[in-house]
Amino acid sequence: MTVYLIHFDEPIGDTDNPRGQAQHYLGYADDLEARLERHRAGNGARLLEVCKERGITWRLVRTWSGDRKLERRLKNQKNSPKLCPICRKERGREKTD
């Protein structure tokens, strides 16, 4: 079981409101490769469907061994940019948690 973080190469949402944007998707999968294939096809999560519709590329940037409880804990932190190595590097913080 894997919890994973996807980084969108462009934010989705209201570009005039940083709080009204998404640049990450945090999910859970029993079979990560199969799940990523569904995401690439634009299935399984609305945000990834929107990425496909708009031609926004994305990258798998981090994984954790864990279950849905871990996924929920990470989502509840509302902290994806701090968990994302790309965002941390852009902000000058190379170290990841």
The pLDDT of residue 36: 97
User: DSSP label at 91?
Assistant: T
Q: What confidence tens digit (pLDDT) does each residue in 66-77 have?
A: 999 999 999 999
Task: Choose among 34, 11, 32: nearest CA to 23.
Answer: 11
User: Does the pLDDT value for residue 23 go beyond 50?
Assistant: yes
The pLDDT of residue 96: 46
The pair of structure tokens assigned to 19 is 């709080």
Percent of the chain with pLDDT over 70: 93
Cα 2 to Cα 64: distance, rounded to the nearest angstrom: 6
